[in-house]
């Protein structure tokens, strides 16, 4: 990834996925005309909830990309 | 996209919805499976909420109409069934007649199959406890939760005293 090493590329990929989850969820919640602070909280919960972060801790990074789920709704 | 499609009725939103689901399937099958599970109750909930709002706005019908309440109740049952059906432990009977309770983790081979059609072939299914269908002698049945083939107790002489027509015996081969 961008010429980075294998380990750094994995870290950058994980960070990119979390940022994408957060931004897309915030955008969709704002499209639903939800209050900005509530949209921030909802996006935070969707992206960094403990249940989902625990999957990352167990090495299941393939479960992190879910930024198309809010768009589907 | 699902909300926009139900609000506007434009087919392009349905295409966007299908594209979003397809791309999510590309990203990961596990999350996408639950997305497809949740989408159908969401559609029903949105339709029910829309009907409710229309009834309140136009006052053309009573939102407490029995038909409307029946629709809401059916939707709640369907949502709970779809969402939590997989988490309910399953009661099975072993070859020695002992009742066992198995968790969903043992059904790993068919864990991704929706539970609605998956309930019917199971021997502990509520449906088969009520409806007893005749099974021709010698026909093998396959327990979907286990990889090894197994035969029905009908072909086993010891099973003639059994009460359940779809009881399953392990094949020792």
Structural domain includes residue A1: no
pLDDT in tens, B68-98: 667 767 766 666 666 555 555 555 566 666 6
Residue B38's closest chain A neighbor by CA? A73
Do B136 and B79 fall within a single domain?
A: no
Q: How far is B9 from chain A (nearest CA, A)?
A: 15
Are A58 and A72 in contact by the 8 Å Cβ rule? The answer is: no
Nearest to A68 among B24, B39, B42 (CB): B24
- Whole-number pLDDT of residue B95: 63
Provide, as residue numbers in chain B, all residues whose Cβ is less than 8 Å from the Cβ of A63. 28, 30-31
CA B147 to centroid of chain Cα atoms: 21
φ, ψ at B99 (rounded to 5°):
-85, 130
Domain range enclosing B51: 2-87
Q: How far apart are CA A33 and CA A28, in angstroms?
A: 9
Domain range enclosing A10: 6-72
Provide, as residue numbers in chain B, all residues whose Cβ is less than 8 Å from the Cβ of A69. 24, 31, 35
φ, ψ at B65 (rounded to 5°):
-60, 140
Do B112 and B82 fall within a single domain?
A: no
Do B56 and B115 fall within a single domain?
A: no
- Whole-number pLDDT of residue B108: 43
Is the pTM value of this prediction over 0.90?
A: no
- Whole-number pLDDT of residue B109: 38
Structural domains of chain B, count: 2
Residue B44 has pLDDT above 80, yes or no: no
Provide, as residue numbers in chain B, all residues whose Cβ is less than 8 Å from the Cβ of A24. none
- Chosen domain end from B30, B63, B87: B87
Beta bridge partners of B151: B169
Structural domains of chain A, count: 1
Do B142 and B83 fall within a single domain?
A: no
Helix (H, G, I), strand (E, B) or coil at A22: helix
The residue with tokens 């009460």 is: B163
Nearest to B24 among A32, A62, A72 (CB): A72
């Amino acid at each position: 990834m961008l010429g980075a090493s294998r380990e750094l590329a994995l870290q950058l990929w994980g960070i990119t996925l979390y940022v994408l989850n957060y931004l897309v969820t915030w955008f969709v919640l704002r499209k639903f005309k939800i209050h900005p602070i509530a949209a921030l909280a909802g996006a935070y919960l969707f992206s960094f909830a403990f249940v989902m972060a625990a999957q990352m801790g167990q090495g299941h990074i393939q479960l992190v990309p879910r930024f198309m789920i809010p768009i589907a709704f | 996209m699902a909300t926009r499609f139900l609000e506007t009725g434009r087919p392009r939103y349905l295409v966007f919805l299908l594209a979003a689901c397809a791309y999510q399937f590309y990203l990961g099958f596990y999350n996408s499976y639950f997305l497809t599970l949740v989408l159908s109750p969401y559609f029903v909930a949105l339709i029910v909420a829309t009907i409710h709002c229309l009834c309140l706005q136009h006052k053309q019908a009573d939102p407490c109409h029995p038909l409307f309440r029946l629709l809401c109740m059916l939707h709640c049952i369907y949502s709970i069934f779809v969402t939590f059906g997989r988490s309910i432990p399953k009661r099975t009977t072993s070859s020695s007649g002992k009742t066992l309770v198995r968790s969903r983790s043992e059904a790993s081979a068919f864990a991704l199959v929706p539970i609605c059609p998956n309930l019917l072939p199971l021997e502990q299914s509520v449906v088969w406890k009520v409806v007893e269908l005749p099974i021709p002698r010698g026909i093998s049945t396959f327990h979907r939760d286990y990889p090894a083939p197994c035969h029905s107790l009908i072909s086993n002489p010891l099973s003639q005293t059994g009460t359940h027509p779809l009881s399953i015996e392990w094949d020792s081969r």
